[in-house]
Amino acid sequence: MLVKTLIVKFILDEPVKGTASKIRGFVARQYDEYILLHHHLGQFLLFRYPLIQYKMIEGIPIIVGLNKGADILQKIYWDLNFFFIGDEKVQIREKILILRSDDYGSNSQFNDYYFLTPWLALNEKNYEKYQKLGTWERRKELLASILVGNIISMSKGLGYTVPEILKVEIKSIREMPVKLKDIPMLSFVGNFSVNFEIPDYWGIGKSVSRGFGTVKKCSS
């Protein structure tokens, strides 16, 4: 299936040390009327694949919009001329806009991807299971099955039914400690292969809207 993807890269005078969550918080406060920007309906959090995702990659803020999210991002794009990151006002020097029509879905070929940002794979239940597995090979098998689940969940959120069995191979992976809302978490970075087409700069796993789990296809 084809998905409309809009990517906006914000070029600042110098790299930002803040997190994608701070960019998300600022934009959400500025445009509270757009639910897709913050995924809250009143006091309730909407549990579905986010159509607007905030990233911080090598100090560059990036916002990605998919389908309806892309339409909203186009509406606010012209008004975004600065960010507040903490108490600091950061001026935007240049905005790079990339509009794509992306193929998404099952593929007869295997594609290789790597994580541009840490992947939050584990919840409380499978974290315990992960820790109890004795060998790294068994841990990789668990992570591969979680990755399959992440792709199926993402597909449901986009209204796409995966027509065939997904096969994931973890090529290389390593643990990386991160913080989410100041809570220490275990994340992963590395490479994987799957018979599925995932567009560059999309996120998979937990806390995608805050920039985790961003993938990019490996160059051939």
Phi/psi at 180 (5° precision): -125, 115
**CATH value at residue 132:** 3.30.70.1900
| 148 and 203 assigned to the same domain | yes
The band of 45, judged by pLDDT with boundaries at 50, 70 and 90, is: low
| 139 and 97 assigned to the same domain | no
| 88 and 118 assigned to the same domain | no
Supply the pTM of this predicted model.
Answer: 0.90
pLDDT at 51 (0 to 100): 93
**Of the candidates 41, 76, 101, which is a domain's last residue?**
101
| 8 and 97 assigned to the same domain | yes
| 199 and 127 assigned to the same domain | yes
| 186 and 87 assigned to the same domain | no
| 138 and 157 assigned to the same domain | yes
The band of 46, judged by pLDDT with boundaries at 50, 70 and 90, is: low
Q: Which of 58-67, 76-85, 133-142, 197-206 has the lowest mean pLDDT?
A: 76-85
Range of the domain at 114: 106-217
| 124 and 193 assigned to the same domain | yes
Report the domain count for the chain: 2
The band of 44, judged by pLDDT with boundaries at 50, 70 and 90, is: very low
| 93 and 157 assigned to the same domain | no
- What average pLDDT does range 39-45 have in this prediction? 51
Q: Exposure of 159 by Cβ count < 10 A (0-12 exposed, 13-18 middle, 19+ buried)?
A: exposed
Phi/psi at 16 (5° precision): -95, 140
**CATH value at residue 87:** 3.30.70
- Chain mean pLDDT for the chain: 89
| 114 and 96 assigned to the same domain | no
Q: Which of 26-40, 66-80, 127-141, 185-199 has the lowest mean pLDDT?
A: 26-40
| 79 and 115 assigned to the same domain | no
- What average pLDDT does range 14-42 have in this prediction? 76
Question: Which among 30-39, 125-134, 193-202 has the top mean pLDDT?
Answer: 193-202
**Of the candidates 67, 82, 101, which is a domain's last residue?**
101
pLDDT at 220 (0 to 100): 54
Q: Exposure of 70 by Cβ count < 10 A (0-12 exposed, 13-18 middle, 19+ buried)?
A: buried
| 77 and 92 assigned to the same domain | yes
